[in-house]
């Protein structure tokens, strides 16, 4: 095995495909804009079709469109000829992928699609091909050469089709005003979804699980509360239930260094006044940011009137999958 030769081959593939992708930016003309208009005006869904490697790329493009605010799904042209055409409605838009523009399975169903009245966006490497000529908008994804040294395996061409599909999806995303929150709603099981959908009230400890002692409690009483509730801290509250301060594991270590009697010393003398807190309606991700910024392991949770309603620590956010 010639290591240097292998590296040179791999480098040539990357450089060839990179050059092909770079050339795409010069083809974002009126046809690309018309494709975007057709998709934006679509009252149904974007139906992506393709065969072979184009089908694999098309399936990924459909998934990207669907997750970024443009309802889409993939249909294999061969299956379409055997019943799946019933999935396509006149209100849909077809996004057809074929490097040659002459794929038999795809061109066979073109007359049926035309009779349905659907708009067709074609993505091919041959502007004069059958598919390109019968489309309402044609996006040119031709390449000077494939990265395969035999010039046979779809490499540069599939990469360019994928990149152009991403360009369409992101152009539509921005134009629709699709937000991070919209993305999270379609990805509730992902970490981003949890970061943008989970609120503090979804993960905080409430009721009897909240560590809290009154202002006149002793240090030892605060320690007992911290031990029972196992959050590494306890709130110190006034008679109205509002937070006066917080007593943490760190405060306890500093108290021991001072040699104070925990049974007679009021915790209010050694507590951290105020304490870090967060509103129950805030996003859980905001708690992560606060803990990181102030280097604390827990937060007290308050309502709009600054009353204590909960507590949470970093472990709660880990369990919720926010971090």
Give Cα separations from 76 to 43, 48, 87 (angstroms).
22, 8, 11
What pLDDT score was predicted for residue 134? Answer: 93
pLDDT at 86: 87
Domains of the chain: 3-178 (3.40.50.10490), 200-319 (3.10.580.10)
Other C-beta atoms closer than 10 Å to the C-beta of 133 total 12
Q: Kindly tell me if the per-residue pLDDT of 156 is higher than 80.
A: yes
Each residue of 54-94: pLDDT tens digit? 999 999 999 999 988 899 999 999 888 878 888 999 999 99
Q: Which two tokens stand for residue 272?
A: 């951290």
Is the pLDDT assigned to residue 152 strictly greater than 80?
Answer: no
212 with 237: CB under 8 angstroms?
Answer: yes
pLDDT of residue 188: 56
Place of tokens 């502007």: 127
Average pLDDT value for the chain: 89
Instruction: Name which of 16-25, 29-38, 180-189, 222-231 the model is least confident about.
Output: 180-189
pLDDT at 181: 67
- The secondary structure element, H or E, covering residue 119 is strand 119-124
Quick: pLDDT tens for 208-222. 999 999 999 999 999
Long-range contacts of range 80-85, CB-CB < 8 Å, 24 or more positions apart? 80/49, 80/109, 81/105, 81/108, 81/109, 85/109, 85/112
Q: Using the predicted structure, report yes or no on whether residue 196 has a pLDDT greater than 70.
A: no
* pTM for the structure as a whole: 0.66
Structure tokens at 300: 């007290």
- Distance separating alpha carbons of residues 56 and 150, to the nearest angstrom: 21
pLDDT at 33 over 70: yes
Is the pLDDT reported for residue 187 higher than 60?
A: no
**Would you say 120 and 134 are in contact if contact means Cβ atoms under 8 Å apart?**
yes
User: Quick one: pLDDT at residue 23?
Assistant: 95
Predicted confidence (pLDDT) per residue in 113-127, tens digit: 999 999 999 999 999
Give the distance, in angstroms, between the CA of residue 284 and the centroid of all CA atoms in the same chain. Answer: 16
304 compared with 140, residue with greater pLDDT: 140
Find all residues with CB under 8 Å of 305, minimum gap 6, and list them: none
């Amino acid at each position: 095995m010639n290591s240097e030769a292998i590296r040179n081959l791999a480098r040539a593939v990357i450089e060839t495909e990179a050059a092909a992708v770079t050339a795409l930016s010069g083809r974002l003309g009126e046809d690309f804009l018309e494709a975007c208009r057709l998709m934006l005006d679509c009252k149904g869904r974007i139906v992506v079709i393709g065969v072979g490697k184009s089908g694999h790329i098309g399936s990924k493009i459909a998934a990207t469109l669907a997750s970024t605010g443009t309802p889409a799904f993939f249909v294999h042209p061969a299956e379409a000829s055997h019943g799946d055409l019933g999935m396509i409605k006149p209100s849909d838009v077809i996004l057809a992928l074929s490097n040659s523009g002459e794929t038999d399975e795809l061109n066979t169903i073109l007359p049926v699609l035309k009779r349905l009245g659907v708009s067709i966006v074609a993505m091919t490497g041959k502007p004069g091909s059958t598919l390109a000529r019968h489309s309402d908008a044609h996006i040119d994804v031709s390449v000077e050469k494939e990265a395969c040294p035999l010039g046979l395996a779809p490499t540069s061409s599939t990469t360019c089709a994928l990149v152009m599909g991403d360009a369409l999806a992101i152009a539509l995303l921005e134009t629709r005003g699709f937000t991070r929150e919209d993305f999270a709603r379609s990805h509730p099981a992902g970490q981003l979804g949890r970061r943008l959908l989970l609120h503090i009230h979804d993960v905080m400890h409430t009721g009897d699980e909240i560590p809290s002692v009154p202002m006149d409690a002793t240090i030892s009483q605060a320690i007992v509360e911290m031990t029972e509730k196992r959050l590494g801290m306890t709130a110190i509250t006034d008679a109205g239930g509002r937070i006066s301060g917080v007593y943490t594991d760190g405060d306890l270590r500093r108290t021991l260094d001072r040699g104070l009697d925990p049974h007679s010393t009021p915790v209010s003398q050694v507590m951290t006044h105020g304490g870090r807190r967060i509103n129950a309606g805030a996003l859980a991700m905001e708690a992560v940011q606060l803990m990181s910024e102030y280097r604390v392991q827990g937060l007290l949770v308050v309502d709009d009137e600054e009353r204590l309603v909960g507590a949470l620590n970093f472990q709660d956010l880990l369990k919720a999958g926010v971090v």
